[in-house]
Amino acid sequence: MDQQIKIVLPNDIALICAVRNFIRTLATRLGFHPSRVDDIELVVDELCNNAMEHGSDPHSSISLIITLRDHALDILVRDEGKGGEGGKWLRRIDVIRRRRNSPLSERGHGIYLVEILADHLVFCENEMGGTDVRAIFFKLDEVNDGEEQRRSSQA
């Protein structure tokens, strides 16, 4: 049965350190490989930073909705949008993706990293006019072990 954790944070970048520590501990306890724990921590850090910097007014909040599944960790980062701009950042996602291709760019590489590190990633506009970003991480070792066991029993 899925379990859900919801964390609501004020738009204060200093709090992201606590979120990183929490997600690292959670992913470790869920049995993710240490290198995947690093990936999950980096993705959550980047998504929270983006939500605070680009997707929220200084006095609004962001939400993390973390769903614990049998073989996956599903993390939704939700921002409230910036006063009436509803989805403006999301409509520029293709421009942001193209910019990352330039090694001369000092910014814009975070989305590229998130896309590479998450097993599944979806961006969509939410009802508040902000952006929801869902990143899913599968516990591949368990899935692969199950597949190998299934193949062995068929042989």
**Using one digit for the tens of pLDDT, what is the confidence trace for 98-142?**
555 555 666 667 888 999 999 999 999 898 888 999 999 999 764
**Using one digit for the tens of pLDDT, what is the confidence trace for 37-85?**
999 999 999 999 999 988 888 899 999 999 999 999 999 999 998 865 5
**Using one digit for the tens of pLDDT, what is the confidence trace for 22-39?**
999 999 999 999 999 999
Q: From CA 95, how far away is CA 110, in angstroms rounded? A: 13
- Distances from the Cα of 110 to the Cα of 5, 31, 32, 46, angstroms: 25, 26, 22, 6
Global pTM? 0.80
Domains identified in the chain and CATH numbers: 3-154 (3.30.565.10)
